[in-house]
A and B are shown apart, each in its own frame.
Chain A
Amino acid sequence: MHASTVRSLLVRGMLAGLVAGLFAFAVAYVVGEPPVSGAIAVEEAKAAGEAPAGHGSHADHGGGTVAVEAAGEEEEGVSRSAQSTFGLATGVLVYGVALGGIASLAFSFALGRVGRFSPRATAALTAAAAFTTVYLVPFLKYPATPPAVGNPDTIGKRTTLFFLMILLSVLLGIAALIAGRRLAPRLGNWNATLAAGAGFVVVTAVAFAVLPDNEDAVATGFPAGLLWEFRLASLAIQAVLWAVFGIVFGVLAQKTLAPRAAADQEGRLGAPAAG
């Protein structure tokens, strides 16, 4: 019975992730694509100004392909119109469903263990925690960069550091949660939550200071306004994704668990009606 509850929560988490992904895709298409196109235009202008020999190092991504094709060379690849529609949708929806599934499993662990919260409130807290640890904290140290900003030679190091930062942030979040629950009987819920939150912020700040800086320094001459617009769009996409996930999954989880909660309570009273 418990296993089937976990399974139905998982299915609903992935479903909520899909719905959240659709909303996030709409935001990505409307506010995210203009700065991406703008950055690719900057990249093309830069590539056009360089010697044709320089194209080799740019050929591994869409903007480079466009630049190469614009320079009259043939290269197999994905068109910009496909990248900005079906390609973008694929990326955002897979991200939403996968993280929706993971978040629903985190919810199953958290349910009834993090305080006196209903399923709906637990879902909202899970979504907020996932947004903060999986996206916001890593973003603050290694912010999203549009095409044309990065140096292709450092992709290995940047990828390692980014995933390391996500892992560290999630682990610190879990540690703060456990510490907060341990402190609650002594400090009370409010002060324990504040102490755990402060601990998370301090340790995260130390990690920011110790970890290597982003080598992906913004290329000289890249428009600052365009970079800001791109990063704001990235933040908006993730904020919408997790807000929609929290709301939708909260409704679904509440419905899934309501009969069970009623059965728990009435079972104690000996009324089998809701069973």
Chain B
Amino acid sequence: MAEAVVSAAVSAPSVAVPAPLPVRAVLPWAFFVGLLALIALYFVGAEQGATSVFAGTDVHEWVHDGRHLLGFPCH
């Protein structure tokens, strides 16, 4: 084990392995931006298909080709 650590340190001294970012610094961003991103993905991938937030089919039709080509079930 000690040998492995030494050889790793010797063989890759120039690679800067960064210290982990504290989880508490990542979590708030993950929560808020993650939520916004998921809402955006919902509108691209599913709105006015199985479920609708807005009435009509304009959102569905506008992103229609992207929805099919990105792999989402469309219609």
Contacts and interface: CB of A to CB of B under 8 A. Distances in A.
Interface of A: 2-3, 5-7, 10, 28, 32-33, 36, 59-62, 64-65, 77-78, 82-84, 87-92, 94-95, 97-99, 101-102, 105, 108-109, 111-113, 116-119, 135, 138-139, 142-147, 150, 152, 155-156, 158-160, 162-163, 185, 216, 230, 233-234, 237-238, 257-258, 260-262, 264-265
Interface in B17-61: 17-23, 25-26, 28-30, 33-34, 36-38, 40-41, 43-46, 48-51, 57-58, 60-61
B44 A60 contact: no
A91 B66 contact: yes
Contact of A91 (B25, B44, B51, B73): B44
A260 B18 contact: yes
A112 B18 contact: yes
16 contacts: A61-B75, A62-B61, A78-B62, A82-B62, A88-B65, A92-B69, A94-B41, A98-B38, A111-B21, A150-B75, A152-B75, A155-B74, A159-B51, A159-B72, A234-B71, A260-B18
A174 B75 CA distance: 31
Contacts of A160: 50
Which secondary structure dominates chain B's binding surface? helix
Contacts of B60: 60-61
Given A99-B37, A108-B21, A116-B8, A237 B70 contact: yes
Contacts of A92: 66, 69-70
Interface residues of B, number: 50
Contacts of A234: 68-71
B21 A112 contact: yes
Contacts, number: 204
Contact of B69 (A94, A144, A163, A264): A144
A60 B61 CA distance: 8
Given A61-B61, A116-B17, A147-B74, A91 B29 contact: no
Interface of B: 1, 8, 12, 15-23, 25-26, 28-30, 33-34, 36-38, 40-41, 43-46, 48-51, 57-58, 60-75
A142 B57 CA distance: 24
A83 B26 contact: no
Nearest to A138: B71
A257 B18 CA distance: 8
B37 A77 contact: no
Contacts of A65: 61
A88 B69 contact: yes
Contacts of A77: 57-58, 61
B29 A105 contact: yes
Given A32-B69, A36-B68, A112 B20 contact: yes
Contact of B62 (A90, A163, A216, A258): A90
Nearest to A150: B75
Contacts of A261: 16-18
Contacts of B36: 98, 101
B63 to A, nearest CB: 4
